C-alpha cells in the first residue's frame, strides 16, 4: 500500500470492489482529498474525488483520527472514528453530502466510541424455506 494513502478500506459497489482512502502527502503534486478507486482489469482506477470544500469540512471533523468506509449498492458511507459524523456518496448522482445526525445517539457515545456500519442486504434463503416446508409436514 502506498504510504501517502491514509485510512484505506475496501467497500462494495454493486458488482465491483472499490477502495476509499485519503491522499495526504505534501510532496505530491496532487491536491489532498478523499478518493475512490475501482478495481478494473487487475488495476486500481480513480473514479471519484471528494470536492475541496467538502474535503475541508471532512478534514476538520475527522481531525486525523481516521475513518472507515462501507458500501452498499449505489451508496458509500464514510464514518469518522470517535464520531457520529457520516458523509455519504451517491454513485448515481455523483454527489457527496453529510448524513443528518442520528437522534438516537447520545452525546456520551460521541467522542467515546465509533459509529460503525456494515453492508447487509437481508434475503430469504431458499434452504430456509425448504426447512420450513418440511417441518410443517410433521404436524399434519
pLDDT in tens, 37-46: 998 888 999 9
How many domains does the chain divide into? 1
Spatial contact of 96 and 51, defined as CB atoms under 8 Å apart: yes
Whether the pTM exceeds 0.85: the reply is: no
Other residues' Cβ atoms within 10 Å of the Cβ of residue 96: 21
- For 78, the domain range is 5-137
Residue recorded with cell 445526525: 101
pLDDT in tens, 104-139: 776 545 455 566 666 666 666 656 555 555 555 555
Q: Give me the pLDDT at residue 98, please.
A: 95
Burial of 99 (0-12, 13-18, 19+ CB in 10 A): middle
| Residue 62, φ and ψ in degrees, nearest 5 | -75, -40
Query: What are 123's three cell numbers?
Result: 434475503
| DSSP β-bridge partners for residue 71 | 76
Amino acid at each position: 500500500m502506498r504510504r501517502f494513502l491514509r485510512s484505506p478500506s475496501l467497500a462494495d459497489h454493486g458488482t465491483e470492489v472499490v477502495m476509499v482512502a485519503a491522499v495526504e502527502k505534501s510532496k505530491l503534486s496532487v491536491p489532498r482529498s478523499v478518493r475512490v478507486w475501482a478495481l478494473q482489469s487487475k488495476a486500481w482506477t480513480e473514479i471519484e474525488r471528494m470536492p475541496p470544500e467538502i474535503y475541508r469540512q471532512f478534514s476538520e471533523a475527522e481531525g486525523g483520527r481516521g475513518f472507515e468506509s462501507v458500501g452498499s449498492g449505489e451508496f458509500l458511507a464514510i464514518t469518522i472514528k470517535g464520531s457520529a459524523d457520516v458523509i455519504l456518496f451517491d454513485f448515481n448522482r455523483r454527489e457527496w453530502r453529510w448524513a443528518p445526525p442520528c437522534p438516537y445517539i447520545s452525546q456520551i457515545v460521541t467522542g467515546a466510541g465509533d459509529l460503525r456500519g456494515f453492508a447487509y442486504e437481508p434475503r430469504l434463503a431458499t434452504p430456509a424455506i425448504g426447512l420450513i416446508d418440511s417441518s410443517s409436514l410433521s404436524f399434519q
